[in-house]
Amino acid sequence: MARTADPSSHDQQLREAAARLGRRRFLTAASAAAAVAFTTNLPDARAAGADLAPGALTENPFTLGVASGDPLPDAVVLWTRLAPRPYEPGNGLPPAGAVRVEWEIAHDERFRRAVRRGTVRAHAEFNHTVHVEADGLEPDRVYWYRFRAGSWTSPVGRTRTTPARGRRVDEVRLGLVSCQAYEDGYFTAYRHLAQEDLDAVFHVGDYIYEYGIDAAGGDRGYTDRTLPAVFGHETATLEDYRLRYALYKTDPDLQAAHAAFPWYVTWDDHEVENNYAAGIPEKGQSPEAFVARRAAAYRAYWENMPLRMPRPEGTDLLLYRRFQYGRLAQFDLLDTRQYRSDQANGDGWQYPTPESADPARTLVGATQERWLLDGFRRSTAVWNVLPQQVVFSRRKNTTDERSRLSMDAWDGYPASRERILAGAERAGVENLVVLTGDVHVAYALDVKRDFDDPAARTVGVEFVGTSISSDGDGAEKPANWATLTAANPHLKFYNGLRGYTAVTLTAGHARADFRTVSHITTPGGTVATAASFVTEAGHPGLQQA
Ligand SMILES: [Fe+2]
């Protein structure tokens, strides 16, 4: 991924990136650029230095596993990060230069039938992360991949290309995961997910949490190890975020889930800070300081995810993107954080007001909205799938006529939701499937054309996946189970245990199997299917299977 940057053009890009934060008018481009340059401390790519001698790698650099992502019919992104000492700044490697890494992809797990191989340099500048585009592959096929550096070989990953464009496909099986607060418990759900037969996994945000983690790993309650003090404070700098990804990625269950399937990732808020909105922090940071923090967080996210997207230049990172799964499905992965209007009514659960209803407000930004509606119009897929972050459907928290709603979710941006539902209707989208995270519980919901009208048509379905670990063990029926179920007739299922969701699409139906884990604050939790729901193609509306 070496790219020799001309420093003057890099500064220009920073200025342009800062200028694109147009709504923050009081933030000057120069101050943002300076703040970002300071925080990310970008070294001059031209002074990258020499490669590390292969013999100098005296400790295993493959401590953070491998991953693949954003599969296409002929290509997939392969990822790893070299970190002989993952809990030390700089991964325990020299602060400049690069390490040569060989990669290999094959038809078989033993690499007897190699398909492609090559060499890349893992630069200190990118925290020794590797993003390889393995191309020239065949559609709809399983592959195996691994890396080598010095005398060390990485764990083996398994991945899969997507079917050829326009091809008839009988079935796709997808995992839906989100919200993995390390300090809230073990990633047992991933251990079970890795045993599933899936074609790909969607991660819809909160891959990391920013809060400080104590030496015992919070509720994991380690007695066999002590986490270093570098994790004890809230993440703010590029180094903090890089170290936080290293902590998460040393988890063996998370590594197993990455190694088992290609992932499509998108973020929510905690990859930067709880409930931030575009350039606006949750807490009272200066705009300059927050934009610099966000830039550091975005850069660390890009470095640590199997993304094909261009590396971030300056303060933004383009993350929304589209994939086709033959003729069966179109995946529109959304970014509802980077471009959103600030939460209305002071955020939290509030009564709707003219402020929250203001049609000028947006959850995805005008450009992403146009891109999405345009994609609906061009789509020929059976299923239009929207992997995204926050709950799309109406959620009243009382049975009263007038009820508070979550200002952070689509309920706080009703005009934005209406434009998307109207656009889907105009485009003739018949089979809308929204995939959601954020709330640390599982829901199955009918998406109504008008949530204010009980007689309104059902125009799609929403599967909300519970958290992997956030909020600890949870409960099958949370305290507000009866109220929420009574207040929202379109809510067909609600479960508050940890786990993941297996989503199956065929030409005839979409199905969600809600998998729950018995407990996560100690290892060894067992998995069960709490419930399964289906919706028929052409006749949206959930039925228990
Ligand atoms: Fe979360």
Taking the CA atoms of 362, 363, 367 and 369 in sequence, report the sign of the dihedral they define: negative
Tens-digit pLDDT profile for residues 45-55: 434 568 898 88
Whole-number Å distance, alpha carbon 469 to ligand 1 midpoint, is 9
The whole-number pLDDT of residue 353 equals: 97
State both tokens at 281: 């922090």
Taking the centre of ligand 1 as the mean of its atom positions, its distance from the CA of residue 119, in whole angstroms, is 37
Q: How far is the CA of 493 from the centre of ligand 1 (A)?
A: 19
Which tens digit of pLDDT belongs to each residue from 194-214?
A: 999 999 999 999 999 999 999
Name the burial class of residue 538, with classes exposed (0-12), middle (13-18) and buried (19+) by CB atoms within 10 angstroms of its CB.
exposed
Cα-to-centroid distance, 533 and ligand 1 (Å): 24
Which amino acid appears at position 428 of this protein? G
pLDDT given at position 311:
83
58 Cα: distance to centroid of ligand 1 (angstroms) = 38
Quickly count: other Cβ atoms within 10 Å of residue 428's Cβ.
9
pLDDT for 23 equals: 36
How much is the pLDDT for 391? Answer: 98
Residue whose tokens read 């909020």: 471
pLDDT in the model for residue 351: 98
CA 255–ligand 1 middle distance (angstroms): 20
Q: What is the pLDDT of residues 85-128, one digit of tens each?
A: 999 999 999 999 999 999 999 999 999 999 999 999 999 999 99
* Helix/strand/coil (H/E/C) assignment for every residue in 400-430: CCCCCEECCCHHHCHHHHHHHHHHHHHCCCC
For the four alpha carbons of 332, 334, 339 and 341, in that order, the dihedral sign comes to: positive
pLDDT at 14: 38
Going edge to edge, which strands form the sheet with 171-177?
129-134, 76-81, 66-69, 262-265, 200-203, 171-177, 499-506, 509-517, 527-536, 539-544
The pLDDT value given to residue 20: 44
Q: How many A from CA of 540 to the centre of ligand 1?
A: 28
Would you state the pLDDT for residue 50?
81
Alpha-carbon span 328 to 43, nearest angstrom: 45
Q: Which residues of the chain have pLDDT under 50?
A: 1-31, 34-35, 38-47
